Structure 1
Amino acid sequence: MTVHQQAYEVGAFAQHLRDLVARLDPGRGWYGVFARRDPAGMRSCLDGVEIPPWDVVESLLADLAALHGTRFAEEVSVRAAALYSASAAAHDRRPGGRQELVHRLELMVREQHRAAERLRGPAPADPVALAWARDDHERATARCAELRKRLAAVAVPEGWLRSEGGEGP
C-alpha cells in the first residue's frame, strides 16, 4: 500500500465520521459524552489523525439510530465498518504504526485494570458512578481485544499469504 493509498483510506473514514457526527447533537448522547470527556481526542479522530476505537463508532451509530431511525443507522454502519477496517489497516501499517498499537494496548490494559479495581472495591453510593465504572471496564476490555486483533493483522507482512497473491517464503 502506498503512502497515498494510506492517506486516502484514513481520510475517507475521517470524512465519513465527520458526516456522521454532523447529523448528531453535540450536546447529547454518546457524542456529547465523548466531546466533553475528551474533546482533543474526538477532534483528532474527526481530523483523521487518530482512529477511534470501534466502540466509539458504535456508540455514535446508536446516537444516529435514536435521532434518525434504526434502518438509516444500519445503512450508515455498513459503510462505516468497511471504511473503518480499511482506515485502521492503513493507519497500522504506516511506519511506527505497530509500535503505536503496542503502546496503546499497554495503556488500555492499565485502564482496564483500573476500571476493574473500581468495580471490585466498595460499591459507590452513587449508582451513576457504578454505571460509569462498568462502562469504562466494558470499553477497555473491548478496546484491548480490538488492539490485539489489529496487532495480529500488522504482524503478518502484506502479500505474505498465498491467498493475497504473494509467494511467501
Structure 2
Amino acid sequence: MTVHVRESQVFVVPPRAAEIIVRRAEEEDVEAIVAIVAENARQGHLLPRSAENIRATLPTWLVAEVDGAPAGIGSLVQMNPTLVELRSLAVLPAYRGLRVGQALVRSLVDEAHRQGFKKIFALTRAVPFFVKLGFRITSKDDFPDKVWRDCTICPLQHACDETAVVIEFER
C-alpha cells in the first residue's frame, strides 16, 4: 500500500491484507504523521499539530503500518507523573474497519502501563470504541491539566462534544 501526499490531500491505495504492525515513529514518518493529523484536523477530529511539534514529540508517537505503509497514528502525552493522555489517534479512511485503531490503542495502553503511569485517558467522540477496549466513561473535570493545556485553545472549547474515558491500572 502506498500513501501519497499532495499539497493538502492524502491519497491512499487500499491494502491487500490486514496485517498490522505497530511501531515507534521515526524521523522518516514525520511527513505522513503531519498529513494524517492535518487531514483529521480539517475534518474536526483532531487538533492541528505542526511538523515541529511532531518532531519534538516524536518519541511519544506510534505508527500502525499495513503492508509497510502508514495506516494510522497515535501518541501519548504526559499530563503529570501518574497520568498520560492518549491523543491524536487517527486511522486513514481506507483502513477503517480493519482494527488498525484497536491495535494502536492497545499498543498505547501497553506503553503507558509499561512506563508506570497509573491512568491513561482520552477525550473522544468514539465512546463505544474505547469502552470496548476497556476504558470507562468519566468526567472531564478529572483532568484539569488537559483542560488548561489544550482545551483553552480548541475552537470547540465552549461547545465540546467529546467525552472523557479512562483506564486506571492496577498496582
Higher helix share: 1
TM-score range, shorter chain: 0.3 to 0.5
Structure whose CA Rg is larger: 1
RCO higher in structure (CA 8 A, sep ≥6): 1
